[in-house]
Structure formats: C-alpha cells, structure tokens
Amino acid sequence: MTRLVLGVLLWSLVHMLPGLTKDLKKNMVGRIGEYPYKGVFLLFMLLSIYLIISGWTSMTPVEPEVLAALYTVPEWGGHAAAVLVLPLATVSAGAKAVPRPPPRRRSWLLKWKLS
C-alpha cells in the first residue's frame, strides 16, 4: 500500500509542479536543456507507474463481507435509479446551449466585466 501511495503522490507532484512553478521549469530547461528535462520527466513518470503497479499488485484483496459492512445498497436503490434516469435524460437532451452575444455586444460585456 505504501508503494501505491508513493506512486500516486509522485505522479501528482511531477505533473503539478511544472504548472504551479513555471520558473522552476524554465530554470531546469535553461540549465540542462529541453530534451534532458523531458528525459528526467519521463524517468519520474516511469518510476511512478512502476510504484503504482507494484503497489496495486501487492495489495491483498478485500473480502466481500468487509465491503458489505462499509456500504450495502438498499433493495429499492436499483428501481429508484431506473425511475430517475428517464426524466433526467429527457431534460438534459432538451437543454440548449446558451447562445453567444453578437460581436458588438461582446466588447460591451468585456468592458462591463472589467469595470
């Protein structure tokens, strides 16, 4: 389980860090070059994928009795879902996209938003 969590955290960190700190990415690309930066990124991604897969496969399966203790679907749940899907599907199918204002109004709306 530890490997799985470390893999997910590494995956998240490597993907979020360049977006959150653009200067860090620029500095690293300036220091080592674009392709070596991509290579380091790839190595961290491969390491995180390995950690996720090895952590997932090392977990012991959970017995159905344990899952049933956490949550049991009520008997009426399937019927309620079937009854609610039909009206919600028809309502969402009938919804129209909000039309965009003409170009002359867009500039007025932009000025109004910025003021």
Q: Dump pLDDT digits (tens) for 73-113.
A: 888 988 998 888 888 877 776 666 666 656 666 666 666 66
Q: Is there a domain that residue 104 lies in?
A: no
Query: What is the spatial distance between Cα 96 and Cα 87, in angstroms, rounded to a whole number?
Result: 16
Report residue 67's pLDDT band, with 50, 70 and 90 as the boundaries.
confident
Q: Is there a domain that residue 102 lies in?
A: no
Q: Is there a domain that residue 46 lies in?
A: yes
Give per-residue pLDDT as tens, 1-53. 899 999 999 999 998 888 888 788 888 889 999 999 999 999 999 999 999 99
DSSP state at residue 76: T
Q: Is there a domain that residue 100 lies in?
A: no
For the chain, how many structural domains are there in total?
Answer: 1
Widest CA span of the chain, in angstroms?
A: 64
Q: Is there a domain that residue 43 lies in?
A: yes
Q: Is there a domain that residue 3 lies in?
A: yes
Residue numbers of the domain that contains 20: 1-59
Q: Is there a domain that residue 95 lies in?
A: no
- In this predicted structure, the answer to whether residue 54 has a pLDDT above a threshold of 90 is yes
Who has greater pLDDT, 98 or 58?
A: 58
Query: What is the spatial distance between Cα 30 and Cα 56, in angstroms, rounded to a whole number?
Result: 37
